[in-house]
């Protein structure tokens, strides 16, 4: 649990601080059915045992994270186990948890609730629970939790990066792994619900573009659709559209990759804000003049050329 390793042993509690980790030993049951043997006489708790032990409530002490998950976190983990390990193994984990419940001191009511939550994940029961992911799975709209957390980080970054008192610009007319097919509809639905948390057209545009790009719902055309959704939000907000010139393509794609691979939204937001400002400075009412401006600002050069996209305001009158 985030820098803390909890051990159960037949003895009094004690703790040891190691570089980057704190080991806390607590009195508890020794190896049980389903536990995994490790070198040095240690055992890793099997998933059934881990599920059972997490039905015991715990509190944070001395600024350390709780020893066990809360019910929302446990529901998220059950949803994840169902997705990754499959329904058959999850059902086996439930049976294992029920067998070792007494040995690990799991409360009877906790085990009952755990069994119901696993039943919800398996589609055999309908239960009210605190986990959004498990609730979505019950509604036959499971989603990719990792992608939703990434989208949440983008929402937070967009809020924090919103410029103060910035005037609105009027509208003047791989190797990445994508969301699994069975999680596409649910991830889009869950992501869509976060759109209302954003205030400005630019924030919603960036978010919608990344949502479609990250979920990747179609075999082809996802990038074009993502940019169309982005510009739809800008048009709805009476804002200038965003174009991504050829010379700027690597800057745009680099921002997407950094968000997807490193969970860092800063580069993507900066790139799209620059592209938004750039596009707003071009008068597209005159095609010839707009083309001349695009050419003069290096828009048509290849991304690997020595040219960089320059703002139209830098051109001589």
**CATH number of the domain encompassing residue 175:** 1.10.3290.10
Q: Is the pLDDT of residue 253 over 70?
A: yes
Question: 173-179, long-range: CB within 8 Å, 24+ apart, which pairs?
Answer: 173/241, 173/284, 173/285, 176/257, 176/260, 176/261, 178/214, 178/215, 178/216, 179/144, 179/147, 179/214, 179/215, 179/216, 179/217
The tally of domains found in the chain comes to: 2
Residues 188 and 126 in one domain: no
Model confidence at 168, pLDDT cuts 50, 70, 90, reads very low
Q: Is 288 exposed, middle or buried (0-12, 13-18, 19+ CB in 10 A)?
A: exposed
Residues 62 and 163 in one domain: no
Q: What is the pLDDT of residue 166?
A: 40
Residues 187 and 268 in one domain: yes
Residues 164 and 252 in one domain: yes
Q: Which residues contact 249 (CB under 8 A, 6 or more apart)?
A: 303
Residues 125 and 153 in one domain: no
Q: Which of 86, 121, 138 is the last residue of a domain?
A: 138
Q: Which of 117, 138, 159 is the last residue of a domain?
A: 138
Q: Is the pLDDT of residue 164 over 50?
A: no
Average confidence score pLDDT of the chain:
89
Q: What is the pLDDT of residue 240?
A: 95
Tens-digit pLDDT profile for residues 75-104: 999 999 999 999 999 999 999 999 999 999
Residue 255's domain spans which residues? 145-314
Query: Are 68 and 60 spatial neighbours (Cβ–Cβ below 8 Å)?
Result: no
Q: Which of 138, 168, 195 is the last residue of a domain?
A: 138
Residues 107 and 170 in one domain: no
Residues 157 and 101 in one domain: no
Residues 99 and 165 in one domain: no
Query: Are 79 and 131 spatial neighbours (Cβ–Cβ below 8 Å)?
Result: yes
The DSSP symbol for 125 reads -
Name which of 130, 122, 113, 129 is nearest 92 in CA terms.
Answer: 122
Tokens 């890793």 -> residue: 44
Q: What is the pLDDT of residue 66?
A: 77
Please give the average per-residue pLDDT across 145-155, as a whole number.
Answer: 93
Residues 158 and 243 in one domain: yes
Query: Are 247 and 308 spatial neighbours (Cβ–Cβ below 8 Å)?
Result: yes
Q: How far apart are CA 82 and CA 80, in angstroms?
A: 5
Residues 112 and 250 in one domain: no
Q: How far apart are CA 26 and CA 15, in angstroms?
A: 9
Residues 46 and 67 in one domain: yes
Query: Are 23 and 41 spatial neighbours (Cβ–Cβ below 8 Å)?
Result: no
Q: What is the pLDDT of residue 154?
A: 93
Tens-digit pLDDT profile for residues 175-215: 667 888 899 999 999 999 999 999 999 999 999 999 999 99
**Which CA distances in Å does 306 have to 270, 293, 302, 312?**
21, 19, 9, 18
Q: Is the pLDDT of residue 8 over 90?
A: no
Residues 152 and 124 in one domain: no
Tens-digit pLDDT profile for residues 101-145: 999 999 999 999 999 999 999 999 999 989 999 999 999 999 999
Model confidence at 228, pLDDT cuts 50, 70, 90, reads very high
Q: What is the pLDDT of residue 169?
A: 43
């Amino acid at each position: 649990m985030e820098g803390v390793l909890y051990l159960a042993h037949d003895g009094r509690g004690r703790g040891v601080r190691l570089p980057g980790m704190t080991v806390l030993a607590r009195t508890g049951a020794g190896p049980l059915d389903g536990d995994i043997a490790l070198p040095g006489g240690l055992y890793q708790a099997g998933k059934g045992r881990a599920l059972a032990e997490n039905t015991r409530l715990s509190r944070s002490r001395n600024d350390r994270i709780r020893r066990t998950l809360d019910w929302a976190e446990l529901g998220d983990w059950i949803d994840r186990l169902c997705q990754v390990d499959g329904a058959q193994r999850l059902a086996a984990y439930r049976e294992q948890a029920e067998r070792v419940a007494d040995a690990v001191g799991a409360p009877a009511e906790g085990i009952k609730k755990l069994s119901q939550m696993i039943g919800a994940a398996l589609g055999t029961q309908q239960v009210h629970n605190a986990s959004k992911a498990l609730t979505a799975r019950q509604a036959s709209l499971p989603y990719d939790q990792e992608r939703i957390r990434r989208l949440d980080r983008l929402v937070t970054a967009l809020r924090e990066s919103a410029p103060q008192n910035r005037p609105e610009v009027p509208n003047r007319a791989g190797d990445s792994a994508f969301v699994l097919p069975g999680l596409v509809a649910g991830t889009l639905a869950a992501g869509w619900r976060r759109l209302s948390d954003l205030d400005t057209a630019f924030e919603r545009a960036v978010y919608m573009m990344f949502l479609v790009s990250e979920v990747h719902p179609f075999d082809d055309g996802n990038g074009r659709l993502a940019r169309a959704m982005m510009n739809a939000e800008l048009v709805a907000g009476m804002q200038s559209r965003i174009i991504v010139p050829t010379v700027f393509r690597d800057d745009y794609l680099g921002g997407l990759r950094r968000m997807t691979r490193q969970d860092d939204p800063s580069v993507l937001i900066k790139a799209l804000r620059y592209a938004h400002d750039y596009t707003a400075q071009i008068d597209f009412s005159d095609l010839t003049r707009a083309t001349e401006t695009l050419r003069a600002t290096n828009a048509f050069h290849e991304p690997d050329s020595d040219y960089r996209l320059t703002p139209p305001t830098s051109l001589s009158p």
